[in-house]
Amino acid sequence: MTTGAKQVSAHSDMGRGFPIAISLKTMLAAVAIGVGLWVLYHLLVVVLVAVLALFIVGTLGPAVEWLESHRMTRGWAIALVFVSLVSCMVLLMGLTIPSLVEQTTRLAKQEPMIRERVASLLSRSPLGAPLAESLRTAHYQPLSKDATGAAMAYSGRAFEIVAYVVSGVFLALYTMIDRDRLRGGLFAVVPRSHHIRLSRVLLNLETIVGGYIRGQIITSGLMAVFVFALLTACRIPNAIALAVFAGMADVLPYIGTFLSVGPATLAALSRGPGIAVIVLVAMLAYEELESRFLVPRVYGRALRLPSSMVLLALLAGGALLGIVGALLALPVAAAVRMLVEELRIELPGEQLDDTKLRERDDRAEAEYERRTQGVPAVQAAAIAVQISEERRGDEGAPEYATTSERA
């Protein structure tokens, strides 16, 4: 046998020794995942509108159910909740926007004076002297021109965002009105053996989303009220504008602390260094109180994320979708963790004994099968949710939600 023939034979043997076989099912799954990711990328706006609608449904759902439990029909309960929400938003905007615009304009006019005061404080230190000189010689005319051009360029984009938000509100309204039919359609495409688990997942998602949004509203509102009271007591101008900004910044954990404390402290310099120190210390103390005391009680059992996961989720969400990603990071991370636990996915480093949980699952599924013989999907979905709610009530709390932590 020639040398070339030996080499070909060796290569053939190697090929037979290390076979690479990919099943048709695996290839189809990979193609399906790729197509799904491509569709999600191109329909990202639609996905975000749907997510916004689900957030609204999860937030307002408990109020609607409470009204239903007090003998009000679902249609009137939904109408009352939405009308009350819109009325509160219009009233809040009418009370704050005029003062907010006026004080923001006034604050912009006072920027040179605040900058000079900060530069004077920095110039007293040898290390801060170069920075003080840079502040004094800074020119904002080109920046203002660029900002004006950017504002004109993005005005259409702002209108689109408002339109998407309105679309999300109406989608949430239609979802709540057609809840039974939509839920029945979802249960119709899922095997009945998984209906109980699906109902528990939906209940836990409602708990996570509703608890997160309500917690954000409460904590942001308390932050805005505290900042307004503090700045008003210290006789610092533009208190409403700074308080609204602090409340909006408080939505972001970690980052919100610096965004809310910085502007208020700089504005306090107009009243002197002593007042600025008081504002700084008071706001840092409130941030600590909020993180250690208010947030665990306000959020209740909606989220269960350690601080490290909170930070990683915020970084990942911000890197992928900016501010929107940072806002969605915590509920998405909490939902992923809930799904891992609810679907009994055993992680590589864990070995759990869930025998009792599986026994309860089997009993619940057996009861569900008995009660839904020959029942349409819409009624079967309602029965599955009822069984899951009864089970959660008997256990005192959902399996998933046992503790809560937020940085």
The answer to whether 247 touches 227, Cβ cutoff 8 Å, is yes
The answer to whether 172 touches 336, Cβ cutoff 8 Å, is no
Per-residue pLDDT, 229: 92
Per-residue pLDDT, 394: 60
**DSSP reduced 3-state for 301:** coil
70 C-beta neighbours (distance < 10 Å), count: 8
CA-to-CA dists, residue 167 to 121, 146, 160, angstroms = 50, 31, 10
User: Per residue of the chain (407 residues), what is the pLDDT tens digit?
Assistant: 455 554 444 444 444 544 555 677 677 777 888 887 787 777 778 888 888 888 888 888 888 888 988 888 888 999 998 888 888 888 877 777 777 677 667 767 776 777 777 777 777 777 666 776 676 666 555 444 454 555 555 566 667 777 888 888 888 888 888 888 888 888 888 887 788 888 888 888 888 887 788 788 888 888 889 999 998 898 887 788 788 888 888 877 666 777 788 788 877 877 777 888 898 899 888 888 887 777 766 665 566 676 667 777 777 777 777 777 777 777 888 888 888 777 766 666 566 666 777 777 777 878 887 888 877 878 888 888 888 877 776 655 444 443 333 33
What are the structural domain ranges in the chain? 40-133+159-177
Per-residue pLDDT, 350: 61
What is the identity of the amino acid at 88?
A: C
**DSSP reduced 3-state for 20:** coil
Q: Which of 136, 152, 135 is nearest to 144 (CA)?
A: 152
Rounded to whole angstroms, the Cα distance separating 223 from 226 reads 5
247 C-beta neighbours (distance < 10 Å), count: 22
Per-residue pLDDT, 301: 59
Per-residue pLDDT, 175: 87
305's CB contacts (< 8 A; 6+ apart) are 313, 330, 333, 334, 337, 405, 406
The 8 Å CB, 24+ separation contacts for 370-378 are 372/192, 372/195, 376/184, 377/184, 377/185, 377/187, 377/188, 378/180, 378/181, 378/183, 378/184, 378/187
Rounded to whole angstroms, the Cα distance separating 289 from 401 reads 23
Chain position carrying tokens 């963790």: 337
Q: Which of 303, 343, 21, 328 is nearest to 197 (CA)?
A: 343
